């Protein structure tokens, strides 16, 4: 078991060294690229996206991060999130990662963006210019067990109350998005986004 964990961690570090993020300024203008791990160690601002997929009941699809994730393992969060690759639009990146993590794709709309910073217990920091992508889907996902351990649909008001009661079961970025932009992601009041 220990050998398997060490092997996974070595493979993960190799992946992190190969995968690059797009460094940006406060206007989301690209100023360079950097290996993902280094950017998170140095807490440098980089471009990212968060996907929110709703069903016809206006419930949000949440995912529970896999147990072996390098930060925020087992925590509940939005449908998926990641980083754009160089030359990739926000929507293209969102669709790619949605397929990789949740096993499906759907049309996505680029809605709002904001900067946030969230340090983690392992010494890494997410400092992201985050683009919120919204889509609709009514079927079950086909989870990638390397990324996701569970999923569920949840009403927005129920999520809000659950975060207040049990904040430790949710990722930091999801709590930030939900707290600061609740009115934007509560699509009940904005049917024009459909």
- Kindly list the structural domains of the chain, giving each domain's residue range(s) and its CATH number in brackets, ordered by start: 20-193 (3.90.79.10)
Residue 161 has pLDDT above 80, yes or no: yes
Question: For 85-98, what is the mean pLDDT?
Answer: 97
pTM, two decimals, is 0.84
Q: What is the pLDDT of residue 138?
A: 98
Question: For 105-117, what is the mean pLDDT?
Answer: 94
| pLDDT range class, residue 188, cuts 50, 70, 90 | very low
Show the CA angle centred on residue 108, arms to residues 117 and 93, nearest 5°: 60
> What are the residues facing 64 on neighbouring strands?
76, 150
Rounded distance between C-alpha atoms, residue 46 and residue 31, angstroms: 9
Q: What is the pLDDT of residue 181?
A: 67
Residue 75 has pLDDT above 50, yes or no: yes
Report the percentage of the chain scoring pLDDT > 90.
71
CA distance readout (Å), 150 to 54, 64, 77, 143, 146 = 17, 5, 11, 8, 11
Rounded distance between C-alpha atoms, residue 9 and residue 176, angstroms: 28
Pick the more confident residue, 68 or 184: 68
Residue 120 has pLDDT above 90, yes or no: no
Residue 11 has pLDDT above 50, yes or no: no
| pLDDT range class, residue 119, cuts 50, 70, 90 | confident
Q: What is the pLDDT of residue 182?
A: 73
Q: What is the pLDDT of residue 69?
A: 87
Report the percentage of the chain scoring pLDDT > 70.
84
Catalytic center residues: 81, 128
């Amino acid at each position: 078991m220990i050998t398997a964990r060490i092997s996974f961690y070595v493979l993960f570090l190799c992946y992190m060294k190969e995968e690059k993020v797009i460094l940006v300024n406060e206007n989301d203008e690209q100023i360079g690229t950097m290996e993902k791990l280094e950017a998170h160690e140095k807490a440098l601002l980089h471009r990212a996206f968060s996907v929110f997929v709703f069903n016809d009941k206006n419930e949000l699809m949440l995912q529970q991060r896999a147990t072996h994730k390098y930060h925020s393992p087992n925590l509940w969060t939005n449908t998926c999130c990641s980083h754009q690759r160089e030359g990739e639009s926000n929507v293209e990146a969102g669709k790619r990662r949605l397929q990789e993590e949740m096993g499906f794709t759907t049309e996505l709309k680029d809605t709002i963006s904001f900067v946030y910073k969230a340090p983690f217990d392992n010494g890494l920091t997410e400092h992201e210019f985050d683009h919120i992508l919204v889509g609709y889907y009514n079927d079950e996902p086909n989870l990638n067990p390397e990324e996701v351990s569970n999923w569920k649909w949840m009403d927005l008001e129920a999520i809000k109350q659950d975060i207040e009661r049990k904040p430790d079961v949710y990722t930091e970025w999801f709590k930030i998005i939900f707290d600061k932009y609740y009115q934007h992601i509560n699509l009940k009041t904005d049917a024009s986004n459909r």
